[in-house]
Structure formats: C-alpha cells, structure tokens
Structure 1
Amino acid sequence: MKESQPKAIFLKDYQAPDYWIDKTNLVFDLHEDYALVTSTLHIRQNEQGEGHPDLVLSGVDMELVSVAIDGRKLAEDEFREGQSELVIPIDRDQFILEVKNRIKPQENTSLEGLYKSNGMFCTQCEAEGFRKITYYLDRPDVMSTFSTQIIADKARYPVLLANGNDVERGELDNGRHWVKWEDPFKKPSYLFALVAGDLESIEDRYTTMSGREVTLRIFTESHNIHKCDHAMVSLKKSMKWDEEVYGREYDLDIFMIVAVDHFNMGAMENKGLNIFNSSCVLASPETATDARYQRIEAIVAHEYFHNWSGNRVTCRDWFQLSLKEGFTVFRDSEFSADMNSRGVKRIEDVAMLRTAQFAEDAGPMSHPVRPESYIEISNFYTVTVYEKGAEVVRMIHSLLGEKDFRKGSDLYFKRHDGQAVTCEDFVKAMEDASGKDLSQFRLWYSQSGTPVLHVSDAYDKASGTYSLTIEQSCPATPGQENKAPFHIPVKLALLDNSGKALSLNEHGDVEQVLDVKQAKETFLFNNLPEKPLPSLLRGFSAPVRLEYAYSKDDLVFLMQHDSDSFNRWDACQRLAMAEINQLVAALARGESKEPDQQLIDAFGHVLADSTLDMAVKTEMLTLPFEAAIAEQSESIQPGLIHKARKQVKQAIAAAHQSQFHQLWKELSQEKPYRPEARDIAERTLKNICLGYMVALNHKEMMDLAKEQYDRSGNMTDRFAALSYVVNAEYQDKPSIDALLSDFLNRYQDDANVMDQWFSVQAGSPQMGTLSHVQSLMEHKLFDATSPNKLRALVGAFAQNMAGFHDSEGEGYQFLADLVIEYDCKNPQLASRLLQPLTRWKKYEPQSRELMKKALESISKVPELSTDVFEVVNKSL
C-alpha cells in the first residue's frame, strides 16, 4: 500500500475553527474548457481564540489566480499554497478575503465539486466537495450566508440555478448572461449547489400553513419533462406531511429539484436546490415500476425533510452525520408508512437492516452510529449511520411516545435553529422535553455491533405468574472488545391459545414496552390463566438479534394469529430460514432431503387467508433472500444457499400450484395504472404468484409469464414477467433472447430503464456469468462513466450467488480490477464497488482464500485513494 499511510481523524480531537465566515459571495464564470471562480469571504476570528493564527483553507485540483485581503492583492511570499490547502498569515480580527481560481469541471470524473453531466454543469459538495470549487473552510460547523452569481453562454446554458431566491439577472456581450441568487439562511459549504444547463421545468405552487405561497419547480432535460409529475405530487405531499406531523414550514420563496444522470448517490438536500440522480425523479407507468414510484416518493420526501433536519439545524462535524441522516430517514420512513402500507414499510426496512446493516455490524467496517474515527468520510455514508441511526431515533420515539417525541423535536428545532450541533444535543432536547432519562440510551451512539437478546420464560400455574428473563450481550467489534448493557425497548404482547392478546396490567393494556437495561433481568406478569406464547420485539422495536426457543408449531401459530404484521412476517421468515439452513447442511453432507411439509402447509394457509392485507400477504409469501440467508450463516456457502432456497420455492409452488394460478388470474384484470397503495398491493401479490409458477420450470408456466409480458400496460408487470423468465431454471434461450431484444427495442432511449435491462441479466443465476457481464460492458448503451450503469451491471453481478462466486474466483478478481481502474477516476464509486469483497472471512474456505487474494491485489497498488485504502486496509 502507500508508503506514507493516510492518517485517521478522531472525534476526540475536534476543535472549533480559528475563524468564522459570516458572508460568502461567489461569482462563477463558466466556459467550455474551464470555470473561473471568485470568492469574496467576510471572515472574523473565533472569539474563543488567542493571537492571530494562520488562516488555513482547504482546496484541491485547482489553479490559484490571485489572493487579496481587504482589497490589497497579496504577493506570492505572503501566502503558502500546498497540495490541499492555502495558508495565509493573518494580523487582524476580521477582514475580507478575495480568492480567484480556475477549475476544470469537464475533467472532473469524481463527480464531487463542480462537474459536467451530459453537457450540464452541476455540483455535489457533501461531504468535502466544495474544496474542489474554491479554497474555503470546508467543514460543516462554519456556517455562512451565500450569494452566487453565475455567468455563462445563454444558448448553451439558458437555465442558471443556485441556492436561495433569484434576486437579479442580466445580459452580457457575446451571447452571455448572468443570474444572481441569494440564500438568507446560514449554511455550511456542503449545502452549496449550482446548476447550469439547457433544461425544461414543470411548475406548481404550494401554500404553507401560514399562508405563504411557494413556487415549486422540477428541472430535467426536455425529452424527460413528462416524467416529473409524480415527483411533484410527492413533493407537495411531503410539504403537507411535515407541517401536520412536525409543524415544519418551508422558508424560501422557491423550492427546486434538478434531475442529473451522473450522480454518485440518490440525491442531495442542498438548501432550496435539491440535485437528484435522475433515477430518483423520473417516472411514467410505461417506464417505472411500482418500486421506482415508491422510491421516488420516499427520496423526494427525505431530501425535503432535510430542510429542517439537516439544513436549518446541521451537524457540527462529520462524526455527527447520523444527527441529520438518521433523524431524516426515520422521518421519511414514517411518511412512507402513512402514504402506503405501514406494516409493509416496516417489514421492508427491517429486511434491509438485517441483511445489510447487521452484516456491516459484524464485518471489518463495523462502526458506531457516531463513529470515533475515519480516514475518508465518504466511507461512512453507511447503513449504520443512516438506517441504524433511524432505528435509534425510532427507539427514542417508542420510549417517549408520540406526544413527548413531538415536544422534543419542537424543542430541538427551536433551540438549535441556525446552528451546527451534535447527536448529544438531539438526545438532550428529547430528554429535556419529556423528562425521560436517556443517559444509558446514549450508548447506542457510541457502541458498535448488533446486540443479542436471549429470552427464556417460565409459567407458574398455581399463581398464574409468567416470568420472562432477558439476557443481553453484544459481540466484540473492531476497537471495542467489551460492551456495556444497552437501554433496549422491547415491545411485547402475550397470546393465549386462541391467539388473543392477554391483558398485561390493571389498565387492560395488551401491549407493553419493556425497558431492558441490565445484562440480565426478569419481568413478571401476574394473573394469567394459562401459559402464553410471547410475541416479542413487536414492530421490531429495537435493532437486535432475538433468540427465543420458538418451536415450528409456535411459529406457525404466530403466522396465523399474531395481530402484529411484522411479527407474522418474521415468524414466516424464521420458519423458512430454519428449513433452508437444514437443506444447506444436508447438501453440504451430500445428502438428499425434501423440504418440510409443515412449512409448505404454512405457506398454503397464508396463500388461502382472505383476511390478510394483500401487501402483508405478499411479504409473508416471499422467502428470505439469499443475502439474508448468507448474513445469518456461520460459513457462507453461496452455491448451496442458492440451491436450497430454490428447492424450497419449488416445493411450495408444486404443492399450491392451482391456488397460485387462480389468484394470479383473479388479479390479472386489466385496468388503468395507478401508483396507489391498494393497486400496488394487487400487482405485487399477482407477481409473487407468477414467480412461484415460473419456478416450477414448466413450459406452460413460462408461457404465462410471456403472455403477461406481452399484454402488460405498465412496467411493473412487464418487468416482473421478464425477470422471472430470465431467472428461471428452465431456459428457453430463443424465447429469452426474444424478450430481452424486445425490451431493448422498446426502451433503449431511456437510460434508467436500460439499467434494469443490464441488472436482470447480471443477476440471473443462468445468464449472469462473468463472460456475459463482460460482453454487456461492451454494449453500445453501457456508459462506463455512469455510476448508475456500473451499479446496475456490476453491482447486480456481485450479488449473484450463482454467478459471482464461481469456483475459480474469476468474478472476485474481475471486481478487484474494476476497483483499481475506477479508484483514480471516481474513488467514492470504487470504494462502494469493493464492498462485496470485504466480508471474505465469512465465506467457506475456497471462496475465502480467493476473495482475500483479490483484496490483496488491490492493496498492492501504489497511491490508492483514501476511500479505497481505508476499506481494503480494514478488511485485510
């Protein structure tokens, strides 16, 4: 690796800046081969400081033109320019600094700072991209008001956008024009945004709860303008929900969203000017699935909610990232639950958490919700910071209750409006508003790993007393061998032999939240007429692993009777997971074993239950995904996991073929497409039925899928049919090639739909071979500079249990070579592509050694980026 290794940055070393920037005035003169940036900064010394320390500004990849203080141009010997900083000796308490520099956005492949995407200038400044634009105190605790003037060729760039309100514009010679934007609210540089391009927009209005009218605009390229309506509807829903649930009103005269094709992430909450990956904005029934519609709604909401939980109140330093992201993910999750199915939303969130976040907690990159250190902050935009951070906020909500949580959020926003604060400040506001002691709860922010709850019980028939003993532990994680007990809210109900929830106290409550705080403690419930079956961790009330000796009969009982939709689904998952694991073990021994009839019958009962919510039924009928099975395995055996899961699915399909077929026919009535909760539930259930039928590997079932593909009037049904055919074990190659060719011809002009076309092939157990993936990389529609395309193709391949984990390890080395190639182009992307190799120690011996070898080949490359260096170093 590097001879001089990158240094870690530690939370314990945080110090406030020596200087503050009260005003930031920016002028961008945009040209085709460069951009001239002039920044005028009104700076004052931190009143807590002593003397006049040097002013140290961050900056990379730029050409310095001039530096001036209070109107006087500095000579070259009056400042020092290093590789990543500008150092200026200072002799006064406050001053105006002017810096002029040139940058080359057209050469910026990292997609950080100011870059060009499809001929359009745009920015991405979180976390540390602003230092690629101009020299600055590029840290979140330096908050400033911004004014931005943009100058560009009017024909090429008729639309010029930045944060705040459009206050002035004019024409210049040679066909150039300018627009000036002013943002009256203080913000750190990571929230700065600029867009210049040939764009069209749709426009709407929203009247806030206080009667202010806000202009809403969504910008995209002209050929996509008809795909913005759903995003606009989602935005208005978000604004209304945030007013009703949190009392938060939008504060500027205009709110804008811009769709960009080349973007490292999903979207960015820049103040008043959100920049989105186009896949998170554009939708029409012909080109977007239900999942895309729901994702757009959720991401639009997430970025809008950041206006308060992230912008008006922001994080003091990047260790506090979950302060804004965890809180906002919780908020957008609750919004989605209110807009769609609350039960299904909770199931989806937990399924992802258990698969991705639990794996991260158990891997080499394990870190607390508030990390103690990092080498590259971009590596900490993780499921731990976001999704586990949201679970921490959810636990506070459970402990305080709806009313006190709202009082706490009101106090937090009032107390810290316009400030850069810490996770501690958020918890303190919740504590002060509710009177609830959260001192032990704070360990969720500082301790890494997934706690394990071991639960046992006993019943004394004579006294009617039921005791529940809960022991908690947390495995060692990097840098944290021993963990103190967490404060864990465990929501439970006790079910009688008919499935009815028993009364737990004199108030008649049938559900209770237990405050588990000790390493081991026992809870007593009195006056119970029979031994109950505990329904534990209802709604997944804490991000923990639960160990309780449920029998198969217990799980079937919970599947049929529990009133908590999450626990009904979880019982289904536990039953299926146990059976799949037994089949994996049998296959490893070279034995033949048939799937358990009790599991098959249980799934039949779910299928036949007409009282079940259709959306919840679909989730219950969905077997655990291969990644979830792998995450719970002590030693991952990819090929055997794939075979065992397929065997269970085929057994369920064979036993209930007629019921699946009948339900599919009932739900296949053609009607106009609506992306609404009930319609989405019907389509999802219909397609899960089709998936089971196709799993039978009969030509007639394949023909049903092709029939659905041909007559479908929406992308959800068409792509589901295509996916099942391509993934089927029964391979009718001419028919599959014909469907893929038809799909390509229909949608080749839509980049986002083509991402699905690449993914479905790379993720197929049959088609997703390394050679096929490599051939797709040569396809005329594959853009190697697009993060979306690489995620769609290479990301899908790396999740393909059958294709990626070949016996020779060629897939691993292919991925390693790609990481090396992209590390010097786009380090963030390279680091994310690397993730599938990081858990190599969890795999069976042959795969383990081959994955390690691939990682080592990356480690031998000189001058790795800090992004990739940190991940490889921690993984090895």
Structure 2
Amino acid sequence: MREGNATAIQRLDYRAPTYWIATVDLTFDLDPAKTLITSKMAVKRNSAQAHGPLVLVGEELTLLRCLIDGEPVSFRQEGNDLVIDAPDRDFELTLRNTCAPEKNTALSGLYTSGGSFFTQCEAEGFRRITYFLDRPDVMAVYTVTLRADAAKYPVLLSNGNLLEQGTLDGGKHFAKWHDPFPKPSYLFAVVAGDLVAREQRITTRSGKDHLLQVYVRRGDLDKTEHAMNSLIASIVWDEKRFNLPLDLERFMVVGVSDFNMGAMENKGLNIFNTSALLCSPATATDADFQRVEAIVAHEYFHNWTGNRVTCRDWFQLSLKEGLTVFRDREFSMDMAGSASARAVQRIQQVRNLRAIQFPEDAGTMAHPVRPDSYVEINNFYTATVYEKGAEVVGLYQTLLGRDGFAKGMALYFERHDGQAVTCDDFAQAMADANPGSPLSSRLDAFKRWYSQPGTPHVAAQGEYDAEGHTYTLRLSQRNAKGPLPQVIPVRMGLVGPEGQALPLQLQGEIAARGTDTVLILEEAAQAFTFVNVMVPPVPSLLRGFSAPVLLEDGLSDPQLLTLLRFDADAFNRWEAGQRLSLKRLLRAARSGQPLQLDNAYVEAMRAVLRHADLDPAFKAEALKLPDAAYIAEQLEVVDPQAIHAAVEAAWDQLAAALRDDWAWAFDAHQVTGGYSPNAVDAGKRALANLALAMLVRGAVAQGDPVWPGRAYQRVKTASNMTERFGALAALVNAHAELAEPALVHFHALFADDALVIDKWFMLQARTPERGGAVFERAKKLLQHPDFTLKNPNRARSLLVQLCNMNPGAFHRSDAAGYVLWAEQVAAIDAINPQLAGRLARAMDRWSTLAEPYRTAAQEALKRLAERSTLSNDVREIVTKALGA
C-alpha cells in the first residue's frame, strides 16, 4: 500500500530519462501465491542526458537477481526505487523478481479474479509486475513467454501476435507472444485463465485478413455478440473516416468482473470490465447496449490515438483520452443514424458534462485539461481530462470543419506515429494542416483551453433596431479560475417570432451566410451586428453546444418558448425546455418556498409530449428535469434538501397535470416484435418508461392501485431488461407498496447474474429520498450477503451512487451521510486506493453547502484527513478539499 507521503509532481519538471529501454523479453511462471517474472531488457544510453545511475521503480515486489550483461552488478533499494550503478553505454539488464497476484486487492499490476490472471498497468501498474522505467515516454518492443498449469489456465494471452505455444513437463504449457510495435509499459497486458472466445475473421478495406476474439468466462459467451458487432463496426468506421486500419494479425478483447475502470486499451489485447462488455436483451438495458458499443469503440480507437501515438508524460493524458472520447462520440452519432438520434446523443453527452464535469471545474479538484501538477495520477482520470478534453477536440472540428479536422489528424500521424508526444504537438498539427484557418491565426490563445481550469461564463445581450433592421449581439466572457480570454466558437442562428430561420448577414458582408453560422468570441467582450433583419429575432446561441461554457443570455419565457417550438437546432430546442425548468427550480430552491408550476410551463411540456413530429427519444430527454448537480452549480449557497424538494415537487405536479397524456404516451409507444437496441425502438422504450414512472408516481399520490399493479406485472413478465427495469424503477422511485415485492422478485430472478444485481443495488441507492428511508436502506444493504467492498462494480453500485449521485439522501442534517462516507472511504482505501479516491470525490463541493451541512461536511473531512494510513489517492483529494 502506498501511503500518503508523496510530493507533487510538476509538469514543468519533465526531463527525458537517462536511459531508454529498446526491447523487453519477459517470462512469467504464473502462480497465484507467488509468480516469478524474469525480465531481460536492452537498455540504451540517452546521450542527451548526463550520465547517472539507472533508477527503476517497483512496488510490492521481491527482487531475486540483478545482472548487467550476465554479471552481478552493484545496486541499492531506496523505498520503491531500484538504483543500479549502470555503465555509460548500452547494455542488457536481467532482473528476476516475484509478486503475489492473489493478494493484490488494488487490482493494479498482476492480480487474480475468479481463478484467472489479469493485469491493469495504466497508469503505474507495471511497476507492480517488475522493476522498470514505468513512464509513458519509454517505448519498447515486448516479447512475452507465459508458463502455467495447463488445466487451470488453458488460455494464455499477451499483446501482439502469437509466435509459439506448446506443452511442458509437470502438466504445464506455454505461449510466446510478440508485439512488433513499440509501446509504453502502461499498455502491457497478460491474461491467463479458463476462458472461452467468440471469434470472427474479417477482411478490412485494405485487403488484410484479421482474427477478432472476445474472451469471457464460461457461461457468458451468449452475451458477447453485441460487443463483437461493435468491434467490427469500429474497425470499419475508423478505416473509412480517418484512414486508420487495424495493424495486427489479431485483436483480442477480454472480460473480467474485478476491474477499476470501464476498460483498458492494451495494444491488441483490450481488457474490459464485464459491465462494459456483456449484453443480452434479458440482462442489459438499451443504455447498456449503447454504453458497450461506445466503450468497445473507444478502446479500439485508442489503437491509434493512444497506442501508435502516445503521451510523453501523464500531464498529456487528455491527448489520448479527450481525443478518443471525441472519436467514440463521432462514431456513436454516426451509428445512431438520423439527425434526431444524433441530437439525442449530443444531449446525453452535455447532460453528463453538466452533471459531473461542471461541478468538478468549480470544485476543489479543479484542474486544466492538461494539469500542471499531481500527487497521484489515478486522481486525474477525471471528467475534465475525458469529457472536457473531448469538448476541446470538438472545438478543433468546429473551427476547421470536418474535412479540415481530418487533414489535421492525417498530419498528426504522419509526424508522430510511434512517438510519445504532447497536446501542443496535436494542436500544431491541426493548425499546420489548415493554414489560413480560424485556428492557425489564434493557436496560442486557443491553447488556453489546455492551461486554464474553470468553466467560462458567456454573457449575451441582443438589441434590435426596428428602423435600421439591424440586430446587434454583444458577447462577453469571464472565468474566475482562468483570467485570460479563451477562443470560444459560438454556433448560432436567429429565429423569427413565427419560427422562421432568418438569414445571417454581418455588417460589412456582401451577402448572407445562410441561417446558421459560427461567431468566434476571443476577446473579453465583442459585438456582432447583423443587417437586413426584418423582424425582431430570438437568438439561438451555442447550437449543438458548440463550446463547453455556461451561457447567460437573459431570454424571457416567451423567447424560450419560441425556441422550444421552432428552433431548427434540436439541441437548442431541448436546451430551451431545460432553461424553462431550471428557472422554476432555482426560484424554489433559492426562496425555500414550495414549488408551484405555472400553467404556461405545464402546457409547454404537454405540447412536447404530444408533438406529432418529434421523435420519442427526443421527447424523453426534453421532458426530463435538469440534474440536481447542475441546479446546484447555479447557486452560490447550496441547500441540497431545498433542491431535492423542488425537483420532487416538479415531478409530482407534472405527473398529476399530464396524467392522461402520460397514459397516451405509454400505450402509444409500446414496441412489439423481437428486441433490437436500434435508436427508434430504444427511443420508444425510453418514452414509455418515463410515462410509466409518471403514471405510477401519480397513482401512488392518489392511492390508485391500477398503475402500480401494471408496473408490477411488467416486472414479472417483460421480455427485455429495459422494460423490466423501467417498471421496477417506477415502483421503487415512487415508494410504492409493491416496490418491496418487486425488488424481491427481481433479485430472485437474477441472483446469479452479478451485473444485474449491481443494477438492483444501484436503483435502491439512487432512489429519491423520502423521510430518510433511502439512506437507512442503503446502510442495511452494506450488510447484504451479496455486497462486498472488494469488487469495484458492487461498491460503486451502492456507495458511489448514494454519496456521489444522490444528494437528497446523502446530505442529511444529522451528518449521518458524512459519517458513513468517511467510514467507507477509509475501509475501501485499505483495499483499493483508486476506488476509494472515486468515493472521496463526493465532498469536492462541500464549501458551497448551506449550514448545517457545511460544518458537518468539513468535520468529516478533517476526521478522515487525520488518519495516518491514507493512500496518496485519498490524501490528495481530502487535502485539496480542505484547502491545505
């Protein structure tokens, strides 16, 4: 266990190593209690650095041998460092050490799960396998020999291509793998176990044949078809869109139940959390199918954006993660098909950004997309690096256009294939590939997106001159955490009072530029004047959410209603509805008075629900209220219970006022025939589930047993998990009497399926609080026979959902939520610091809380900080939260 005594690592302190490692020949004698690893490395002297000792790093290893060119060498161990008195030349280093995989509860390095061996080396897990220059700029060619008991571990996998396999004495066997592409140690992988595989041979556009394999434990093979189809679609898309082919003879994907992340892009051997891999209609929802498709694509796309070109240092993490999230988003939107389905994808992306990343940008762990320092790199696998990083990559495409962005990608790979580079290198390639573009002339200012934390606030004010037929739009920006103005593309249009899209002609231009354009806000304040505007317009700003900012445009309810009814941009149509909801929720949260929805708002929501031309998926998103976290971000002082009360009152009133409309929506959007996760059917199910939730909520309030009864029957008889779980959620979230028997039935039906039982825990942890019942149930679930802190999925399904995602239940006036949080963070930290760090983030925004929550939260943080055995992961988060 790494205890919290490390100092911060600074980005500006980067220095290339004194030695490089060109090749690595590893031999594993696999044993759960004591695995023996022999490493032979071709070490190359870096003549650009002054000569000094070779310093390798290792954790929880027992060193048995250290040789240079076959001879013993002087060395010493200083903490986790192995310091070797190396010669001032190239040489071969041989190390032999052991590790204990079955004791590795941190799930970093080599560990066991379900009787099999797995590795997780990102970010710094390889040092738990053998001593190494465990840093991303050290790229080597690996050859790996695995030896193990043939009966227990019939499948032996590593990166690259299989060179040789055979039998050994004593019932053992071996497999030898070689990866021809240089890679950093964080992309190394080993898997050994009793696994089965779905296989598919394909021929790519380039005419080459490849073997695709998805390995899982026995009994899960029937849940891998969607993952295989997603992998094939990803390969086809990447070669077509960016001319990036699959570059290995085979590509392997492996599922494991115990995994800290969603998945890992190890070169040619992706390792997946089973929650991000396994799908069947009976056990996975539409959202699960969509998530699996996106994550399979994400990890495959890393083959180029992360593997072939990787990060020079961990400060450049968004170079691979932000770029690859952008790529998987583009893939998912292309796979969705229709313009409306693409808009729903974008809405879901922004909803997630606002619920998680915006609060992070305003909290104690706020950091730039490219951080300047860290104590524990695991803490910087954040929404800022991933989600905001993807938004920044999207800005390139907005400024350059789709073709210009593709040119930039091509130049990036032409320059840097096989290298470890920086975010600056990516930006330069984009600009150089597009001379004369809006990016090339603003590159230095644009790169402030990488260096400044915080979410920019953009204020907009419009003025219409009826006599001159002009409309002047004044834009300004501010960012409390980043004082310099940023380059903000504002995609926009003007909507007439009857809904017409108005032509856009800026003063000085000889003709209109269409009805949709991009303005570039790059100063603290700018004005844009449009001419030949014949009617008073309503500005439609940040279409498609063209930049990750908070917009303050002061639009009135009638103006927002105009956008909700008529805007040609589907995202802004949704946004108008969200703004109408947000206004009312904020008013109630600030005043502490009971929320009462006005008739105009209710009728606007009814119009959306009944609209003949809107897709069901869009309606389902448009009718959802803003997330509590996003509501809280609009408040200087946050009373979680006031927000919770306002949201619950809004749902209650919408359920009652639109009762007949919800009933129509439920009946009209049933999907008949076989299950398919396609966008059309998924949209119908999403709207039907929302309608059922509203109907059950309204019925419970009225004491009407009909709709709860129908939902209970659906829990028992539904033909797919989306409908079954939607019905269960409707009962549980409404606190219906039938919720308890429905939960019992659901658990009995899926008792042997760990991923479905994770859903069962998650639902109960995220239920809207009522009288403290949800919190008390969550505490009891900690003692449930199926609950364990050792499995990250299970711990996240209960504790992270309760503490990080259910503010109404977590923030209690008696401080019981904070006490539970501190206890569980400490308990998990003793097992798995990375997972504990995720849970610790629940307190990032404690200083904005109203009393008595603020003082109670601070005390809980202080008590946790006083523990002497905290890991670096948790101590860094808690220390920053307390402002130390």
Coarse TM-score class (shorter-chain normalised) = over 0.9
Using structure 2 for the length normalisation, give the TM-score.
Answer: 0.96
- Please tell me whether the aligned partners of residues 715 and 746 of structure 2 are also in contact (alpha carbons under 8 angstroms): no
Distance (whole Å) between structure 2 residues aligned to residue 110 and residue 639 of structure 1 = 36
- Please tell me whether the aligned partners of residues 629 and 641 of structure 1 are also in contact (alpha carbons under 8 angstroms): yes
1:648 is displaced (CA, Å) by 1.3
What residue in structure 2 maps to residue 622 of structure 1?
624
- Please tell me whether the aligned partners of residues 23 and 41 of structure 2 are also in contact (alpha carbons under 8 angstroms): yes
Q: For residues 352-394 of structure 1, what are the alpha-carbon distances to aligned partners after superposition, in whole Å with 9 as ceiling and x for unaligned?
A: 1111111011000000000010111000000000000000000
* Equivalent of residue 81 in structure 1, options 77, 84, 88: 77
What residue in structure 1 maps to residue 117 of structure 2?
121
Q: Tell me if 1:802 matches 2:808.
A: yes
- Please tell me whether the aligned partners of residues 154 and 175 of structure 1 are also in contact (alpha carbons under 8 angstroms): yes
What residue in structure 2 maps to residue 231 of structure 1?
227
Q: For residues 594-650 of structure 1, what are the alpha-carbon distances to aligned partners after superposition, in whole Å with 9 as ceiling and x for unaligned?
A: 212111111011011110122111110111122322232222222221221121122
Superposition map of 1:579-618 within 5 A: 579-586=584-591, 588=592, 591-618=593-620
The letter of the residue matching 1:226 is: D
SS of 2:237's equivalent? helix
- Please tell me whether the aligned partners of residues 4 and 873 of structure 2 are also in contact (alpha carbons under 8 angstroms): no
Q: For residues 247-305 of structure 1, what are the alpha-carbon distances to aligned partners after superposition, in whole Å with 9 as ceiling and x for unaligned?
A: 11000000000000000010000000000000111111000000000000000000000
1:800 is displaced (CA, Å) by 2.2
Cα 1:276–1:3 shift into 2, 3 Å? closer
* Equivalent of residue 854 in structure 1, options 856, 860, 866: 860
- Would you say how many aligned residue pairs link Structure 1 and Structure 2? 860
Superposition map of 1:367-386 within 5 A: 367-386=367-386
Q: List gaps (5 residues or longer) in structure 2.
A: 506-510
What residue in structure 2 maps to residue 469 of structure 1?
474
- Please tell me whether the aligned partners of residues 671 and 681 of structure 2 are also in contact (alpha carbons under 8 angstroms): no
Cα 1:645–1:771 shift into 2, 3 Å? closer
What residue in structure 1 maps to residue 508 of structure 2?
none
Distance (whole Å) between structure 1 residues aligned to residue 808 and residue 137 of structure 2 = 47
Indicate the larger mover: 816-825 or 799-808.
799-808
The letter of the residue matching 1:126 is: E
The letter of the residue matching 2:187 is: L
1:827 is displaced (CA, Å) by 0.6
Distance (whole Å) between structure 1 residues aligned to residue 142 and residue 80 of structure 2 = 23
Distance (whole Å) between structure 1 residues aligned to residue 528 and residue 691 of structure 2 = 43
1:670 is displaced (CA, Å) by 3.3
- Please tell me whether the aligned partners of residues 768 and 797 of structure 1 are also in contact (alpha carbons under 8 angstroms): no
What residue in structure 2 maps to residue 517 of structure 1?
522
- Please tell me whether the aligned partners of residues 466 and 525 of structure 1 are also in contact (alpha carbons under 8 angstroms): yes
Distance (whole Å) between structure 2 residues aligned to residue 83 and residue 592 of structure 1 = 59
What residue in structure 2 maps to residue 822 of structure 1?
828
1:850 is displaced (CA, Å) by 1.1
Distance (whole Å) between structure 2 residues aligned to residue 485 and residue 708 of structure 1 = 54
Distance (whole Å) between structure 2 residues aligned to residue 206 and residue 856 of structure 1 = 57
Distance (whole Å) between structure 2 residues aligned to residue 770 and residue 575 of structure 1 = 31
Distance (whole Å) between structure 1 residues aligned to residue 270 and residue 310 of structure 2 = 16
- Please tell me whether the aligned partners of residues 489 and 515 of structure 1 are also in contact (alpha carbons under 8 angstroms): yes
Distance (whole Å) between structure 1 residues aligned to residue 554 and residue 670 of structure 2 = 41
- Please tell me whether the aligned partners of residues 196 and 217 of structure 2 are also in contact (alpha carbons under 8 angstroms): yes
Using structure 1 for the length normalisation, give the TM-score.
Answer: 0.97
Distance (whole Å) between structure 2 residues aligned to residue 58 and residue 150 of structure 1 = 23
Q: Tell me if 1:255 matches 2:260.
A: no
* Equivalent of residue 145 in structure 1, options 141, 154, 160: 141
SS of 2:55's equivalent? strand
What residue in structure 2 maps to residue 66 of structure 1?
65
Distance (whole Å) between structure 2 residues aligned to residue 32 and residue 713 of structure 1 = 41
SS of 1:434's equivalent? coil
- Please tell me whether the aligned partners of residues 158 and 190 of structure 2 are also in contact (alpha carbons under 8 angstroms): yes
What residue in structure 2 maps to residue 653 of structure 1?
655
1:89 is displaced (CA, Å) by 1.0
1:465 is displaced (CA, Å) by 1.5
The letter of the residue matching 1:25 is: D
- Please tell me whether the aligned partners of residues 560 and 580 of structure 2 are also in contact (alpha carbons under 8 angstroms): yes
Cα 1:415–1:593 shift into 2, 3 Å? closer
What residue in structure 2 maps to residue 479 of structure 1?
none
Cα 1:593–1:237 shift into 2, 3 Å? closer
Distance (whole Å) between structure 1 residues aligned to residue 123 and residue 371 of structure 2 = 15
The letter of the residue matching 1:147 is: T
Distance (whole Å) between structure 2 residues aligned to residue 390 and residue 618 of structure 1 = 25
Q: Tell me if 1:444 matches 2:411.
A: no
Indicate the larger mover: 181-190 or 781-790.
781-790
SS of 1:137's equivalent? coil
- Please tell me whether the aligned partners of residues 461 and 553 of structure 2 are also in contact (alpha carbons under 8 angstroms): yes
The letter of the residue matching 1:72 is: E
- Please tell me whether the aligned partners of residues 579 and 596 of structure 1 are also in contact (alpha carbons under 8 angstroms): no
Distance (whole Å) between structure 2 residues aligned to residue 585 and residue 507 of structure 1 = 44
- Please tell me whether the aligned partners of residues 762 and 768 of structure 1 are also in contact (alpha carbons under 8 angstroms): no
What residue in structure 2 maps to residue 171 of structure 1?
167
What residue in structure 2 maps to residue 717 of structure 1?
723
Distance (whole Å) between structure 2 residues aligned to residue 526 and residue 770 of structure 1 = 58
Distance (whole Å) between structure 1 residues aligned to residue 739 and residue 121 of structure 2 = 43
Superposition map of 1:134-213 within 5 A: 134-213=130-209
What residue in structure 1 maps to residue 794 of structure 2?
789
Q: Tell me if 1:744 matches 2:742.
A: no
Q: For residues 830-849 of structure 1, what are the alpha-carbon distances to aligned partners after superposition, in whole Å with 9 as ceiling and x for unaligned?
A: 11011112211111111111
- Please tell me whether the aligned partners of residues 202 and 218 of structure 1 are also in contact (alpha carbons under 8 angstroms): yes
State, as a whole percentage, how many aligned pairs show the same letter. Answer: 46
Distance (whole Å) between structure 2 residues aligned to residue 56 and residue 310 of structure 1 = 26
The letter of the residue matching 1:10 is: Q
SS of 2:650's equivalent? helix
SS of 1:294's equivalent? helix
Q: For residues 654-688 of structure 1, what are the alpha-carbon distances to aligned partners after superposition, in whole Å with 9 as ceiling and x for unaligned?
A: 22211110121122253211111111011011111
SS of 1:769's equivalent? helix
SS of 1:781's equivalent? coil
Q: Tell me if 1:688 matches 2:687.
A: no
Q: For residues 777-806 of structure 1, what are the alpha-carbon distances to aligned partners after superposition, in whole Å with 9 as ceiling and x for unaligned?
A: 222222321000000011121122332222
1:712 is displaced (CA, Å) by 1.1
Distance (whole Å) between structure 1 residues aligned to residue 145 and residue 668 of structure 2 = 59
Distance (whole Å) between structure 1 residues aligned to residue 697 and residue 775 of structure 2 = 24
SS of 2:433's equivalent? helix
Q: Tell me if 1:674 matches 2:683.
A: no
1:36 is displaced (CA, Å) by 0.3
- Please tell me whether the aligned partners of residues 267 and 275 of structure 1 are also in contact (alpha carbons under 8 angstroms): yes
The letter of the residue matching 1:653 is: A
Q: List gaps (5 residues or longer) in structure 1.
A: 477-481
